[in-house]
Amino acid sequence: MKQTAEVNGLKDFAMEMMDKGVKGKIYVNQANHNFEEPILSDEDTAGRQPLQMLRIVIKTDRETIYYEYLFNEAFDLEEINVQLEDIFVYFEKEIVSVEFMNDLVR
């Protein structure tokens, strides 16, 4: 499995597969980044958004690629979704659980 640190790497991979007529599936998971964070009082977290992680796997018959993105503002997530709109139309998309995603990336 290849991994990319840039959304453009994910898009380039998807576009290459689309150009070759290769079908596949996109698996998406969004969850809190650190499940083991200590619980803070409301005063400590006032006005702060929790750090989230968006994880995406594009799995095809030929190759698989993995991308993860840390964010804490809804705007950031919207921006990524806009950038990936084209590939979400081509590949079937499935929202998966943290456990399922962990199994995919192992």
Rounded to an integer, what distance in angstroms lies between the CA atom of residue 98 and that of residue 12?
A: 25
59-90 residue pLDDT tens: 999 999 999 999 988 899 899 999 999 899 99
Name the range with the highest mean pLDDT among 6-15, 27-36, 46-55. 6-15
- Listed residue (40, 58, 59) closest to 50, CA to CA: 40
CATH 3.10.310.10 holds for 2-34+49-105: no
Report the chain's mean pLDDT, rounded to a whole number.
Answer: 87
Structure tokens at 46: 């006032």
**Residue 41: which pLDDT band, with cuts at 50, 70 and 90?**
very low
> pTM for this structure?
0.83
